[in-house]
Amino acid sequence: MSLTIGFVLFPNLTQLDFTGPLQVMHRTPGATTHILAKTRDPVPSDCGLGLVPTGIFAEAPQLDLICVPGGLSVVEAMQDEETVRFVARQAEHARWVTSVCTGAFVLGSAGVLRGKRATTHWAFTDLLPLVGATHEPGRIVRDGKVITAGGVTSGIDFGLSVVAEVAGPEVAQTIQLGIEYDPAPPFQSGHPSRAPAAVKATADARYAKARETYRAALGG
């Protein structure tokens, strides 16, 4: 089957939110991938890596799957009318409407998450009700055609799940093997439920200001 996939870029996004699922899903048989932004200018990521769009919002085809990555700068994206309008327009007819990390709040600003179960980066899950969503714990949460993934690296799991649905588990597993996705982290601190208390407190403090910025932007 053919599959038209589009990723939404905006300045200072977290590049792994985007490149993780991109690396997985572009390998799907029959997939065509579009990397979309407001203009064709390179888009800076939050780690200094420039990302080059393959197309612009105004010329994008109707997508089968739209994916919005996140990043601490997503507050600007969710207040950008052109970006939000594009996501809302594509979401009407896309088969899957998806996000990774705080990209969920762009979906929320586009009205996509109202009445939906969803997830996002652990530091921001309490803000999901501000866009009409109910937080459901999970690395990947699906509610109808809306699929949201947790923070950053969960985008790889999300990508493999989508491939399994589109092309079957064997294809997804072949891609997983091809990219040698065989996680063996040196520490069991990748989620607040497992991180030591001191580590969690330090990480949580680093997100405190961003949480309040998001909350203000969402009217909470």
47 belongs to the catalytic site: no
Select from 82, 5, 17, 83 the least CA-distant residue to 49. Answer: 17
Burial of 212 (0-12, 13-18, 19+ CB in 10 A): exposed
* Locus of tokens 């969920």: 104
How far apart are the two ends of the chain, measured CA to CA in Å?
43
Query: Which residue in the list 101, 106, 147, 149 is annotated as catalytic?
Result: 101
The two structure tokens encoding residue 145? 């055609």
Torsion-angle region of 111 (φ positive above 0: left; ψ -120 to 50: alpha; else: beta): left
Phi, psi of 82 (to 5 degrees): -65, -40
Q: Which residues are catalytically annotated?
A: 101
